[in-house]
Amino acid sequence: MANIHIPPGWRIRERDATPESAYLNRREFVKAAGAGTILAASAAACGAEGRAQTQDGRGPLDNIPDTPTASLYPEAVRDERFTIGDRHAAMSEEEVVATYNNFYEFGTDKGGVWRNVEPFEARPWELEIAGLVDNPGAFDLVELERAFPLEERIYRHRCVEAWSIVLPWIGFPLRSLLDRAGIQNRAKFVNFITFNRPEQAVGIRTQTWYRWPYYESIRIDEAMNELAFVVTGMYGHPLQKQNGAPVRIHLPWKYGYKSPKSIVLIEVTDRPGTTFWNDLQPAEYGFYSNVDPDVPHPRWSQATERIVGPDNRVPTLPFNGYGEWVADMYDGHVTPPGDVPHAS
């Protein structure tokens, strides 16, 4: 597997980031108009402005699966503890976030993922919770969306390829879900497994050298950290398919590949699970993979990052700037000793 190549993430049309005031106005409009109306308006606008479309007229903002819980999303309350941060002037424009995606299940071309997700049936959806929990089972996602108050968090997202975006995720704390499941005393790790439908995902069907389905693992204290978030929506509506619909994890202090998309299983165990990229390239991708500007990737520096859209290059911060929330879990080490074998 030594020749596996992750295409560098430099191909994007320059776009100015949307000012937060414009996003807030849009959010209020979504509340007033209702999910169905705004989706239709978005599709019409996409055509009128000559933006990218498929042959059937579908645009990058038209990949939101239908769900009876759509009306909950415009009402999600923002958690004001989480902000854009000094490195970003504004939240990323939604079309940038919808057209620049690492989602290998649907191909390796970041700009083409949104075109390839149409066959993916992201609703209805069950999420199974298994292992060392008192209340295991398969839960309908609609049930979970209604059981936990949906909240909005502005999180920065840092890719291992040295690019970043910032956007308003919607969901609920992973800790809340694990508390409901009833974590047992022996629990030490949480594993995630994603979907595996080659008939609906061209990347799974054609990239047979990868070990599908995608899988990840984190420690139980990481999973119970306040930042760990179960994401089911973005920008005031349910997730776009290319952004991990209908449910994904987001861990903003880690590189993006540690936040698996379209998950079907959460397993609580007493031993660490293996992880997709660490199994493929252990000299490049550690188990923890916390954002660390002082530990370079073998092929590029991690000291700076490119903000996708405005294309500004800014310094990267340890833990992606979230050290106050997570540093104590690692005894002050951003990269725990031995996590990345290539590092000195």
Topology of the domain covering 20-330? Sulfite Oxidase; Chain A, domain 2 (3.90.420)
Query: Can you tell me which residue has the tokens 């188990």?
Result: 287
On the 0-12 / 13-18 / 19+ scale of CB atoms within 10 A, 199 is: exposed
For residue 221, the one-letter residue type is D
Retrieve residue 17's tokens: 């980031």
What local confidence, expressed as pLDDT, does residue 209 receive? 96
On whether the CB atoms of residues 134 and 58 are closer than 8 A, the answer is no
Among candidate residues 188, 185, 178, 97, the one with its CA nearest the CA of residue 135: 178
Per-residue pLDDT of the chain (344 residues; tens, 9 = 90+): 333 334 333 333 333 334 444 444 445 544 544 444 334 333 333 333 446 777 788 999 999 999 999 999 999 999 999 999 989 999 999 999 999 999 999 999 999 999 999 999 999 999 999 999 999 999 999 999 999 999 999 999 999 999 999 999 999 999 999 999 999 999 999 999 999 999 999 999 999 999 999 999 999 999 999 999 999 999 999 999 999 999 999 999 999 999 999 999 999 999 999 999 999 999 899 999 999 999 999 999 999 999 999 999 999 999 999 999 999 999 989 999 999 876 54
For residues 263 and 196, give the distance between their C-alpha atoms in angstroms, rounded to a whole number.
Answer: 10
Q: Given phi > 0 = left and psi -120 to 50 = alpha, else beta, which region is 232? A: alpha
Maximum separation of any 2 CA atoms in the chain, in Å? 57
What local confidence, expressed as pLDDT, does residue 51 receive? 61
pTM of the complete model:
0.86
On whether the CB atoms of residues 276 and 295 are closer than 8 A, the answer is no
On the 0-12 / 13-18 / 19+ scale of CB atoms within 10 A, 25 is: exposed
- Tally of residues, the chain: 344
